[in-house]
Structure 1
Amino acid sequence: MLFRDRADAGRQLAARLEHLRAQEAVVLGLPRGGVPVAAQVAAALAAPLDVVVVRKLGVPGHRELAMGAIGEDGAAVHSPDVVRRAGVAPAALEEVEARERAELDRRVRRLRAVAPRLPLAGRTAIVVDDGVATGATARAACAVVRALGAVRVVLAAPVCATDAVRRLTAEGVEVVSVATPRPFGAVSAHYAHFGQVPDEEVVALLRAARQEAE
């Protein structure tokens, strides 16, 4: 195991991001699992904490396999090779995307009621997740923050698959991680404790960070 839990992972990751302390950065966690990691990073860097809301598009019948992802403001990325190998018809892809868009919109409404979006124009965006396997969700998140005006995008995760790192860097994203194990396996395999993160915990972390900044 590399990490005890997400808080431990966040502290280890923050040590790799010290070079961004003076970069006018905003730390953006991916709800839900990325937010406890991001909270540790934001605290260590004395940077504001926000979220970037995205949803993975899982292959029907194999929802853990990502065939793309969607984000706020209509951002979407697809993995044609996964769609082709899984034999997903266009209508099925549209159905999955519509369902996930509805859930994404619900989360955006709830989270933005607590934490209005922080401006990113001209700033460095540090997008944080608890791990990166396929990179589809991370790509969507990076597309969102770029659309919102971030001039530098850094994807930070405690553990990343090497294939995902290659894809992200090829698209101009800086990637910072604690480990890139091979073989990778599941993100959860690298944590001793990797429970579900409820919406209430995400809301509490965001509220605490905003109150601390006041």
Structure 2
Amino acid sequence: MPRSPSAFRDRRDAGLRLAEVLETRHFSNPVVLALPRGGVPVAFEIARALRAPLDLMLVRKIGAPGNPEYGIGAVIDGSHPQMVLNEEAMAILRPSATYVNAERQRQLEEIERRRAFYLGGRPPVSLKGRTAIVVDDGIATGGTIRVALKALHATEAAFIVLAVPAAPQSVIESLRSEADEIICLGTPEPFHAVGLYYKNFEQTSDEEVVALLREAESFSGGSEPPPQGFAPKGSMRSTKSP
């Protein structure tokens, strides 16, 4: 894996470069999951190359009582939404079960509102027996990606892949136990910021997200889940057995 990627023209260029690598992997029955908003243009090009469904992975933080910016957990979208709690923060703050459950419900409602806005209420794509490819436009600290990957462990996905254009090497190493495979085009050190590795890193608009998701419906495919015991051939960066 290159240590320093040359600058990507924009997010779609980064997606095309990732797609070139992912196409060689011959994943069975992939589903591409984008973290909005910046991850959507990257994931769109991957989904188009793989002829795979493109869906969103919506993550909402559960804030601490009286301090909503301090995360004690997160709720993640999906056919079976998951809640991932920060056990260390929970042990320190000891929020009541009533508070946690109320916040979980509130964030689930916000996720549903956003899904309706972006996808017109289309239900999440089932991950049962499929390869889940999680995509963002880059990783700085890895906090959101970490909870997203943790949530996928509770689904029936057969294999979990994280695909990103650039990230710090230390963060990639810390995420190895959360994914079956990690594909990252560059791990420059020092890392600084994701936007430095793009010539055009303008904010992705809601309108662009909606348009790309609608266009993706025209080329996404679907097939039966792979047989039990499936494993892709020649894993590049497999961290555990699927």
Identity of matched residues, %: 42
Q: Which residue of 2 aligns with 1:38?
A: 43
Q: Verify: 1:25 aligned to 2:30, yes or no.
A: yes
Q: Which runs of 5+ in 1 are unaligned?
A: none
Name the counterpart of 2:127: 120
1:192 counterpart = 2:204: no
Structure 1 residue aligned with 2:84, among 69, 76, 82? 76
Matched residues, number: 204
Structure richer in helix, relative to its length: 1
Match of 2:16 among 11, 18, 39: 11
The question of whether the paired residues in 2 share the 8 Å contact of 1:55 and 1:70 is answered with yes
SS at match of 1:154: strand
1:150 alignment counterpart: 157
Could you tell me which residue of structure 1 aligns to residue 216 of structure 2? 209
Provide the C-alpha distance between the structure 1 equivalents of 2:112 and 2:59, rounded to a whole number of angstroms.
10
Look at both structures and tell me which one has the larger radius of gyration over its CA atoms.
Answer: 2
Structure 2 residues without counterparts, runs of 5 or longer: 1-5, 222-242
TM-score (norm 1): 0.79
- What SS is found at the alignment partner of 2:123? coil
Structure 1 distance, partners of 2:174, 2:44, is: 26
Q: Which amino acid is 1:44 matched to?
A: A
Any idea what the Cα deviations from partners look like across 1:124-177, whole Å, max 9, x if unmatched?
Answer: 100000001211111222233333311110010001111221121023442101
> Structure 1 stretch 108-117 or stretch 192-201: which is displaced more?
108-117
Tell me by how many angstroms 1:42 deviates.
0.9
Query: Residue 26 of structure 1: SS of its match in structure 2?
Result: strand
Map Cα deviations across residues 21-51 of structure 1 (whole Å, 9 max, x no partner).
3421111111111010000011112222111
Q: Is 1:130 matched up with 2:143?
A: no
Structure 1 residues 77 and 177: CA distance shift in structure 2, 3 A: farther
Provide the rounded CA distance (Å) in 2 between the counterparts of 1:28 and 1:19: 19
